Chains A and B, each alone.
Chain A
């Protein structure tokens, strides 16, 4: 029987051995997404990248992506989050697909200590929902300020109107844009909430009666944006339209907006055609796997998944270590070069935003930031 001192020494040594070999095991990335073509394409490209690069990392480390449907109602996002946290192999989650579902699920992930990498939600409330929620895209305030700046500088807007979808995304972007305009001294003539059942014709006409804006900002998704764009082209052709990143779903936006698409400005986190190696590699892989050029939505999703993969391959399948890895990214750990730019989660982070225009079925830079 070993003495107590020797037993402690054996335990410490065992822990040291285990600590020295942290990267073995199976790590599962929970991918909570809304099943539509962009998400599926992102998933295929990511799996292709994981499979291709598996050989260059620890042979005993297996990385899997578990994709689960995160379609609203958003309370089901909570249940989905609870299911993911119950799986011991799930060490990190990418998702969810919207601000509402991300905000709903975040408390569950934070309570379980599972890092959550948000790829698309822009609600600024995500910054305060918990320490283990990390957001790739800029929040509403940043995007709103960007829109306001572009409208004021590039489009010389002196008065604007804001149409916003009455949900977390739309209201958040509205608030950010309104604050941006206020700071630049641009007059906000009207703020109009809408939903899928709204009569856009009535809303637009009534709004235009209160004043013709230089710029009409639409904080909504592609369908509403397209309809408003068509109406605005008819009712107020001089008015320029700027849409938030939520509307940039191609080719649907281009198809729905029709001739109005040419005059439409859309905020984007990324546009294809960048000369950096990350973008080039991503575009090539995506084209090979999916047969087309990727969208910004897909680039963000891909960056989020690959960030999770990098963390797992670096520190192993351990939730706490991945937490630490993500927290240190850009601080004691250098930022990684993603498709959409440098990836880090520090307060000083300056995300890259691009104002794009629609050409054909593609987004092209209107003005690069």
Chain B
């Protein structure tokens, strides 16, 4: 179960922050524009709208006043004795003069309206009086005409004064409005300046918030990722907020927790593997002793049949245990073995042996349909064995608790140049929601007991070999199919690389002097006894140092030495011989209980290493081979 990291209380998410920030910016910009449009522009428009009619009014009044003045001038002329043409002209002029639109007065300031109306009325009065003046002149009533002219002048003066007053009022009004506009502009400038300041502050706050909400958490996560990439799985990042980045940080912490747990688990597995390798190595010696003793007794001619049967059983079980231990060692050290051309059938059988102990317990029936003509494939034996152990174990686990019969089918065949293996079970199958995640890391159907890495690693191993594993839903249960490219390279037999011997050479070991060096009496004694029975002259020692001393007294043709011994192990002994007596080093056979010693770690040539448990006949054959080889060399005998 992934560890849960406590998160801070609910806060605004980054999306909320982005929305708020965008809204603030929008309000700022729109408000700014609206203020300009709603405050300054309308005032300017109002001033313009108020000013234009007033100016138009003045213009009209001035125009009218000008016309009246011209008419008065003409009236002077006609009063002083103008022609009828002049009279007609003046009359027409008066009739043609227009009037001020009363509607314009509505836009004038209240104080001006009275003056304007008064001016308009006086002007109209002048017009009618001028017309009456003309009528009097036409009727020869010059006196009345002159009186009217005086009245006209008087009214004209009054009109002038009224217009001056109206103009003063109007200018005062316009000035006041202009000042109001200037004040509004000043206010607007001030407000704009403050608005800009607010905008700058907004930007600063925004940047600071972004730094706090985004940059800092991102830097934390980046630092954590760097530490993880450098191998520090204890890296954790601080979860500042319960937002998107906080969620990312939390997931990062959870991820590293999982990785750490898996790494620890893998470490435990590796340690367990080491332990198993060590135990297997130690168990190999007693197994070899058991098998060797059984072999030795079986050589006796007068053996009771019942006893012979029991000894055979003892030897068989010892060899079987040894084989299992070899497979276990191979499984544990799978990654250390090189890729070779191999038979998948043999790898499958070896993997099946490793998990076979579960078949009876889980009531699983194994059905094998292995193609006997299956071409070899290229791959790492141990790693592929690991893959099949994983698939077989998964199948057995899947059938746990399933109704009987529980059948585990293993099938091999060749198709289109590829070697195929199918492993199927009759369990409940894979849940549909898990199918697409089967080969993903940490995907497991086994709950806390599963690492979720088996299929992922298995697929990786197979893909490295140019193949793949696929899952095929079956009518009942699950079916995994693995395929690898077939190769024509000669198959190297599974297990140790030592050449196998079929039957013992009937010639025995007559005339061969053998030094057996092994610290365990239970292992050494049966070998000595067997070799002597086969005609060899055998001397023995318990460690490398003693062995060298014995060699001084009793020369040997072949030296058989265990690898792990106190005081001086087999490898050190060989190294000493290689320095002082290289001919003897070339005739030294090392007995090792560890399969990994075949990968070239020992200074001893590979063909001089035998891996326990080894049959006595095999030892005999090896000794004979080494001795024969030595005979062909010059100065081979000591």
Contacts and interface: CB of A to CB of B under 8 A. Distances in A.
B105 A104 contact: yes
B481 interface: no
Q: Give the interface size bracket for A toward B.
A: 20 to 34
Given A79-B110, A166-B127, A195-B125, A125 B101 contact: yes
A192 B128 CA distance: 8
Contact of A193 (B113, B118, B128, B138): B128
Contact of B139 (A75, A195, A197, A205): A205
A207 B91 CA distance: 11
B103 interface: yes
Given A78-B105, A78-B106, A105-B106, A206 B127 contact: no
Contacts of B141: 202
Nearest to B106: A107
Give chain A's interface secondary structure class.
Answer: helix
Contact of B132 (A107, A198, A210): A198
A103 interface: yes
A166 B116 contact: no
B131 A203 contact: yes
Contacts of B110: 78-79
B139 A202 contact: yes
B136 interface: yes
Interface of A: 73-75, 78-79, 100-101, 103-108, 125, 129, 166-168, 171, 191-195, 197-199, 202-203, 205-207, 209-210
B102 A206 contact: no
Contact of A168 (B99, B107, B131): B99
Contact of A75 (B116, B131, B144): B116
B96 to A, nearest CB: 10
B136 A198 contact: no
B135 A202 contact: yes
A285 to B, nearest CB: 34
A104 B144 CA distance: 36
A52 B128 CA distance: 49
Nearest to A195: B128
Given A191-B95, A192-B135, A205-B139, 12 more contacts: A74-B102, A75-B117, A78-B105, A100-B102, A103-B103, A107-B106, A125-B101, A166-B127, A193-B127, A202-B135, A202-B141, A202-B144
30 contacts: A73-B114, A75-B116, A78-B106, A78-B110, A78-B113, A101-B102, A104-B103, A104-B105, A106-B103, A107-B103, A107-B107, A125-B101, A129-B103, A171-B99, A192-B135, A193-B124, A194-B128, A195-B128, A197-B125, A197-B128, A198-B128, A199-B132, A199-B144, A202-B132, A202-B136, A202-B144, A203-B131, A203-B132, A206-B136, A209-B139
Nearest to A78: B106
A110 to B, nearest CB: 10
Given A75-B114, A78-B113, A103-B102, A193 B135 contact: no
Interface residues of B, number: 28
B134 interface: yes
B94 interface: yes
Given A79-B110, A205-B135, A207-B135, A166 B124 contact: yes
Given A75-B105, A107-B107, A199-B132, A193 B139 contact: no
* Most chain A C-beta atoms within 10 Å of own C-beta, residue among B107, B113, B144: B113
Interface string B123-149: 011011001101110110100100000
Contacts of A192: 131, 135
A103 B110 CA distance: 16
B138 A209 contact: yes
A190 to B, nearest CB: 8
Closest 3 CB pairs of A and B: A206-B135, A75-B113, A103-B102
Contacts of A202: 132, 135-136, 139, 141, 144
Nearest to B145: A202
Nearest to A210: B138
Contacts of A198: 128, 132
Among B102, B128, B134, which residue has the most Cβ atoms of chain A within 10 A?
A: B102
Contacts of A205: 135, 139
Contacts of B101: 103, 125
A166 B128 contact: yes
Contacts of B128: 166, 193-195, 197-198
Interface string B73-117: 000000000000000000000110001011101110010011011
Contacts of B136: 202, 206
A100 B107 CA distance: 15
A125 B102 CA distance: 10
B301 to A, nearest CB: 104
B116 to A, nearest CB: 7
Contacts of A107: 103, 106-107
Nearest to B98: A171
Contacts of B106: 78, 104-108
Contact of B117 (A74, A171, A206, A207): A74
Contacts of A191: 95
Interface in B134-171: 134-136, 138-139, 141, 144
A105 B110 CA distance: 13
B132 to A, nearest CB: 6
